Amino acid sequence: MSDDILRLEPQAVWKNFYSLTQIPRPSGHEDKIRKFIADFGRNHGLDTLIDEVGNVIIRKPAMSGMEDRKGVILQAHLDMVPQKNSGMHHDFENDPIVTVIDGEWVHARDTTLGADNGMGVAAAMAVLESTELKHGPVEVLFTSEEETGMTGALGLKPGLLKGEIMMNMDSEDEGELFIGCAGGINGTMTFNFRGQTLPAGYMGFEIKVTGLKGGHSGMDINLGRGNANKIMNRVLYEGHALYGLLLASIEGGSLRNAIPRESQASVAVPVAMAESFLDGLSGLSGKIKSEIATTDPGLIIEAIPAAIPDTVIEEGVFVRLLDAVYACPNGVMHMSSEMDGLVETSNNLAIIKSSRGAVAVKCLLRSSVDSAREDLVAMIRSVSELAGAVSVFDQGYPGWKPNPNSPILKSMREIYKAKFGKTPEIKAVHAGLECGIIGGSYPELDMISFGPTIRYPHSPDEKVNIASVGRFWDFLVETLANIPHA
**Residues 30, 79, 116, 344: which is the catalytic one?**
79
CA dist., res. 451 & res. 424, Å (int)? 12
The CB-side HSE value for 114 (13 A sphere, CA atoms) comes to: 31
The CB-side HSE value for 113 (13 A sphere, CA atoms) comes to: 26
Asked if 361 contacts 188 with a C-beta cutoff of 8 angstroms, the reply is: yes
Asked if 456 contacts 463 with a C-beta cutoff of 8 angstroms, the reply is: yes
Q: Give Cβ neighbours of residue 251 (< 8 Å, ≥ 6 apart).
A: 263, 264, 265, 352, 353, 354
CA dist., res. 165 & res. 154, Å (int)? 19
Determine whether 173 is an active site residue: no
**Residues 30, 139, 145, 146: which is the catalytic one?**
146
Helix (H, G, I), strand (E, B) or coil at 35: helix
Determine whether 344 is an active site residue: no
Asked if 46 contacts 128 with a C-beta cutoff of 8 angstroms, the reply is: yes
Can you list the alpha helix ranges (DSSP code H) found in 246-369?
274-291, 315-327
For 217, other C-beta atoms within 10 Å of its C-beta total 29
Residues with a catalytic annotation lie at: 79, 146
